[in-house]
């Protein structure tokens, strides 16, 4: 029996999300802090690539968030507000 190894992309594609468009669980509280942030660690530390640098700005898209909380931990300016999604919302892990 041979084992099949899955890439992170294959694993993430097996999941489903119920995105709360009325009350997102992540917000950038102060975009000006992101503009002055030199390293912008959220753009390369987020495993789901929810943060993208566009010029001096950081753009957030919560649709693929895996709810790990890495972004709030690595933000050196405390500019990210992160809460668990409301009950029934967020990611549904399907990969076993």
The CA distance from 71 to 54, in Å, is: 17
Q: pTM value?
A: 0.75
The CA distance from 9 to 24, in Å, is: 23
pLDDT the model gives residue 87: 76
pLDDT the model gives residue 9: 72
pLDDT the model gives residue 24: 82
Q: Which SS3 state, helix, strand or coil, does residue 82 take?
A: strand
Say how many C-beta atoms besides its own lie within 10 A of residue 75's C-beta: 23
Q: What are phi and psi of 45, to 5 degrees?
A: -95, -25
pLDDT the model gives residue 17: 65
Q: What is the mean pLDDT, run by run of 10 residues, along the chain of 96 residues?
A: 74 68 84 93 93 93 86 95 79 65
pLDDT the model gives residue 36: 93
The CA distance from 7 to 32, in Å, is: 35
């Amino acid at each position: 029996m041979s084992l099949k190894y899955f890439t992170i992309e294959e694993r993430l594609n097996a999941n489903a999300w119920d995105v709360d468009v009325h009350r997102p669980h992540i917000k950038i509280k102060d975009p000006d802090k992101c503009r002055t942030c030199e390293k912008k660690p959220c753009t390369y530390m987020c495993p789901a690539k929810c943060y993208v640098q566009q010029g001096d700005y950081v753009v957030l898209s919560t649709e693929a968030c895996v709810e790990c909380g890495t972004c709030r931990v690595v933000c050196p300016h405390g500019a990210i507000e992160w809460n668990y999604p409301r009950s029934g919302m967020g990611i549904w892990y399907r990969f076993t």
